[in-house]
Structure 1
Amino acid sequence: MTSNAGSAQSPFDPRQHRVERVLCFTAHPDDIDFGAAGTIAAWTAAGVQVSYCLMTDGDAGGFDPADREEIIALRTAEQQRAAELVGVSDVRHLHQRDGYLEPSHEVIRGVVRLIREIRPDVVVAMHPERNWTRIQKSHPDHLAVGEAVTRAVYPAVENPFAYPELAEAGLAAYKLPWLWLFAGPEERENHFVDVTDTVPAKLAAIRVHASQHPDIEATDGTVRGLMLRTGQLAGLPPGHSAEAFHVVKVNGPGTIAGF
């Protein structure tokens, strides 16, 4: 995939750390496309297997009262089409209520179950910390995703005695190598991915979510501008676009249990 740039503080070096499987957790249909679809398109083009898990059905979204009875089916179909545009066919759902998501043990157990099943090299999730500069990134459901995933990643995923019913069902404990968080505070961002080549795929995926973003031209312009600004922050050449992450090494060669 495209290499990271301008991220001297990042513990992740794409030249050294191989990525074969990725699992992405978001709150609503369209979150992953705004936050990371450029990176995901680059991963899938390189042969990486990427799966999505949407924690809510997006049932509180949309603008047209006439869509209320069909909004879940509509948004589910939009996300499936958008995922396919960036090379993703595996889309899972936790079916929590939009606007009511909490990092409950029911939700955390669902996250642990899926991570143990897929056993990814990288988990991508929304950030648990609020972004005060652009608060729209910090919908309460977004923060709940970040908190639930972070609690699941350590220690529950790797603790064989956490949610023992999962181990009994054959889902053994697993040490996740990497957690990539997006949509958090800019001061947390330590890893940038040059997505210049995959901007068209990202924008095409976003356009699919017409029930949420009917002004396509304004949405395109805003997203392009934000990616160009991120490219500047990453130190990329003029005209390059980037996506930003807070990358956390969860388990590596020097990791000791409990530290």
Structure 2
Amino acid sequence: MSTDATSAKSPFNASTERVERVLCFTAHPDDIDFGAAGTIAAWTAAGVQVSYCIMTDGDAGGFDADDHHAITDTRTEEQRRAAAIVGVEDIHYLHERDGYLEVNHVVMKQVVKLIREIRPQIVLAMHPERNWDRIQKSHPDHLAVGEIITRAVYPALENPFAYPELAEAGLEAYKLPWLWLFAGPESRENHFVDVTGHVEQKLEAIRVHASQHPDLAAMERTVRGMLGHNGRRARLPEGSSAEAFHVVSVNGSRTIAGF
């Protein structure tokens, strides 16, 4: 895909890798739009099928105490509209409680099941490591998503004897090629996507989550600043914008069973 600006350290070569399906996991509605909406817009524009799985309903979010009873429905609708802006229609929810997401086999089994159903080339998720430079990126639910997904993709996803009832139901073990992580420590980021042409789509998607933004102008300044910072880190032309990821090769040409 021509939209990628790949750093020298990146294990992922967008010009040679064939990507048809991507499955994204986040903790709350709006996480994916802050972290990767520009990249997702580029993928869908290129014909990639992108699906979302949001683990909680975002029921602890918002600022309006008088209308908080309706926040789950509000955030679900916001996410539907935001996803449509970047070309995504397939959204799954695990309905875990916001702020209470834990790493356990109940959730991991659901994750393995969904990945085996969709069989994406890329799973994109939040990073399991805390970002001490911007701790707001490291909500405990975000960290839980990263750990859940990392444990799920190896070894459970590719082990036919993990959650054997899934294989018995026809969901065969699957070897995931790539795991992309976002919102982790900057030192871990090894891949950049040039989203210069999709910045307005990204911001439009973020704006939809109005229940979460008491100051839209400040939000936009912050997001544009981060995208510009990543563009400079990626050594893109002046004024460019990029999203940054920690890309992990889970199964590649050098992978052998158990190693």
State the TM-score, normalizing by the size of structure 2: 0.99
Is the 1:2–1:195 Cα contact (8 Å) retained in structure 2? Answer: no
Distance (whole Å) between structure 1 residues aligned to residue 182 and residue 70 of structure 2: 30
Q: Where do 1:168-247 residues align within 5 Å?
A: 168-247=168-247
Is the 2:26–2:53 Cα contact (8 Å) retained in structure 1? Answer: yes
C-alpha displacement at 1:116, in angstroms? 0.2
Is the 2:125–2:145 Cα contact (8 Å) retained in structure 1? Answer: yes
Is the 2:6–2:13 Cα contact (8 Å) retained in structure 1? Answer: no
Residue of structure 2 in register with 1:51 after alignment = 51
SS at match of 1:181: strand
SS at match of 1:54: strand
Is the alpha carbon distance of 1:120 and 1:6 closer, same or farther for their aligned partners in structure 2, counting shifts above 3 Å?
closer
C-alpha displacement at 1:134, in angstroms? 0.6
Q: Where do 1:89-100 residues align within 5 Å?
A: 89-100=89-100
Q: Deviations over 1:100-138 (max 9, x none)?
A: 001111111111000000000000000000000011000
**Segments of 4+ in structure 1 off by > 2 A?**
1-6
Q: Deviations over 1:157-176 (max 9, x none)?
A: 00000001111111110000
Tell me the matched-pair count: 259
Distance (whole Å) between structure 2 residues aligned to residue 77 and residue 169 of structure 1: 32
Question: Which amino acid in structure 2 is aligned with residue 227 of structure 1?
Answer: L
Is the alpha carbon distance of 1:101 and 1:15 closer, same or farther for their aligned partners in structure 2, counting shifts above 3 Å?
same
Unaligned ranges ≥5, structure 1: none
Distance (whole Å) between structure 2 residues aligned to residue 43 and residue 3 of structure 1: 9
Is the alpha carbon distance of 1:210 and 1:2 closer, same or farther for their aligned partners in structure 2, counting shifts above 3 Å?
farther
Is the 1:2–1:42 Cα contact (8 Å) retained in structure 2? Answer: no
Identity within the alignment, %? 74
Asked if 1:17 corresponds to 2:38, the answer is no
Is the 1:6–1:236 Cα contact (8 Å) retained in structure 2? Answer: no
C-alpha displacement at 1:22, in angstroms? 0.1
Distance (whole Å) between structure 2 residues aligned to residue 26 and residue 2 of structure 1: 26
Q: Where do 1:70-109 residues align within 5 Å?
A: 70-109=70-109
Distance (whole Å) between structure 2 residues aligned to residue 57 and residue 235 of structure 1: 38
Distance (whole Å) between structure 2 residues aligned to residue 214 and residue 77 of structure 1: 18
Q: Deviations over 1:79-101 (max 9, x none)?
A: 00000000000000000000000
Distance (whole Å) between structure 2 residues aligned to residue 160 and residue 101 of structure 1: 26
Distance (whole Å) between structure 1 residues aligned to residue 186 and residue 62 of structure 2: 28
Residue of structure 1 in register with 2:140 after alignment = 140
Question: Which amino acid in structure 2 is aligned with residue 73 of structure 1?
Answer: D
Q: Where do 1:142-157 residues align within 5 Å?
A: 142-157=142-157
Question: Which amino acid in structure 2 is aligned with residue 88 of structure 1?
Answer: V
Is the 1:6–1:235 Cα contact (8 Å) retained in structure 2? Answer: no
Question: Which amino acid in structure 1 is aligned with residue 37 of structure 2?
Answer: A
Distance (whole Å) between structure 2 residues aligned to residue 89 and residue 67 of structure 1: 27
C-alpha displacement at 1:217, in angstroms? 1.3
Question: Which amino acid in structure 2 is aligned with residue 168 of structure 1?
Answer: E
Q: Deviations over 1:203-256 (max 9, x none)?
A: 000000000013211111110111001111111111000000000000012210
Question: Which amino acid in structure 1 is aligned with residue 78 of structure 2?
Answer: E
Aligned alpha-carbon RMSD (Å): 0.8
Question: Which amino acid in structure 2 is aligned with residue 255 of structure 1?
Answer: T
C-alpha displacement at 1:4, in angstroms? 2.9
Unaligned ranges ≥5, structure 2: none
